[in-house]
Amino acid sequence: MSQSTLTSNAVGPVKRILIQGKYETKVMLSNGEQLVLAVVLPVIALLALTVTNLLDGVADRAVDAAVPGVLALCVISTAFTGQGIGTGFDRRYGVLRMFSTTPLGRAGLIFGKILAVLAVLVIQVVLISVVGVLLGWHPNLVGIVPAAVQLLLGAGCFTSLGLLIAGTVRPEATLAITNLAWVLLAGAGGVLFPLSMAPEWIQPTLNALPSAALGDSLRQSLIDGRFSLAGMIILIIWTAVSAVAATRLFKWN
């Protein structure tokens, strides 16, 4: 069909996404359960891992061993569990449909969500870093930039996975799956505890998980100042596969 030009009454695409990002960030931060998941539980995990000897031998000080894993946990809380549950219920209530009839469209809506995940993640990283420093955290400064890249990539990867689940199953199932995954990955998926602490026979399997790739990469960066290429590759593969799957399988209503 010939497309004659139609004067747009929408604000520009970048402004639209920024506006929606701000809105989604407010929605995330005003949700009590999400705040517990995004802020309270990670801080408790940091305190617990710092005062106990659960991470003995991982780094010189317990807090140095704890902070990278807690940062990885923040990514999973916000990008995967929080964002997945929010999107799942938005889909149930027709909110995705409503916003996709506005100038935002589907793409603008998704970019807005990604922006909100990043905004909340920045708040979490600042908070955990401050609490960490107060507890005596000394990150390896060489690893700061790689860690930032890994956090961004982890956010992309877990946002795609969260959208894939939220867009394909009922919101109650999304709630159950993402919460259960959060607990399992935090404890046994290489997030808070390095995989070197797991039984040797299961290590290759767990190593392929994006949670382990993120947790172990962050530990290597922030403890040893080493850049994990393997972790990076695993994260990129998971991001690509889940983003493609989410794009194809996501049901809007």
Partner 1 sequence: MVSSVVPSLVITELCKDLGPVPALNNRMLRVLESVSLKAYPGQVTTLLGSNGAGKSTTLACAQGLLRPEGGSVELLGQDPFGDHPALRSRVGVMLQDGGLPPSMRPVPLLRHVASLYQRTYDIDALIERLELDSFGSRTIRRLSGGQKQRVALALALAGDPDVLFLDEPSAGLDPQSRQVVFDLIAELRDAGKAIILTTHLMDDAQRLSDYVYIIDKGRTVAAGTVAELTSLATSEHESRPVLFGAAPGLVLPTAPAGLSLQETSAGEYRLNGVSTPEHLLWLSQWLAESGVMPSHLSLQARSLEDVFMEFAHKEETA
Contacts of 237 (CB under 8 A, 6+ apart): none
35 touching partner 1, by CB under 8 A: no
Candidates 57-65, 91-99, 126-134, 136-144; binding stretch for partner 1 (CB under 8 A): 91-99
Among 4, 134, 200, 201, contact with partner 1 (rule: CB under 8 A): 4
- The CA distance from 132 to 37, in Å, is 18
* Residue placing its CB nearer to partner 1 in the complex, 24 or 64: 24
* Three-state SS at 5: coil
Among 16, 70, 164, 188, contact with partner 1 (rule: CB under 8 A): 16
93 touching partner 1, by CB under 8 A: yes
Among 29, 31, 138, 243, contact with partner 1 (rule: CB under 8 A): 31
Number of residues near partner 1 (by CB under 8 A): 37
105 touching partner 1, by CB under 8 A: yes
53 touching partner 1, by CB under 8 A: no
Whose CA is closest to 116, among 162, 150, 73? Answer: 162
Among 106, 133, 230, 249, contact with partner 1 (rule: CB under 8 A): 106
Mark residues 178-217: x for contact with partner 1 by CB under 8 A, - for none: ----------------------------------------
Q: Other C-beta atoms within 10 Å of 37: how many? A: 22
Contact between residue 49 and residue 69 where contact means Cβ atoms under 8 Å apart: yes
Among 40, 51, 103, 249, contact with partner 1 (rule: CB under 8 A): 103
* Three-state SS at 56: strand
Among 8, 53, 204, 248, contact with partner 1 (rule: CB under 8 A): 8
Candidates 6-14, 64-72, 152-160, 187-195; binding stretch for partner 1 (CB under 8 A): 6-14
**Distance (Å) of CA 142 to CA 91, 122, 146, 216, 217:** 42, 20, 8, 16, 13
* Residue placing its CB nearer to partner 1 in the complex, 30 or 53: 30
Whose CA is closest to 21, among 139, 111, 127? Answer: 111
Contacts of 11 (CB under 8 A, 6+ apart): 19, 103
249 touching partner 1, by CB under 8 A: no
168 touching partner 1, by CB under 8 A: no
Closest distance of CB 5 from partner 1, Å: 8
19 touching partner 1, by CB under 8 A: yes
Contacts of 21 (CB under 8 A, 6+ apart): 111, 112, 114, 115, 116, 119
30 touching partner 1, by CB under 8 A: yes
Which amino acid type is present at position 187? G
CA 192 to chain centre: 14
* Residue placing its CB nearer to partner 1 in the complex, 7 or 53: 7
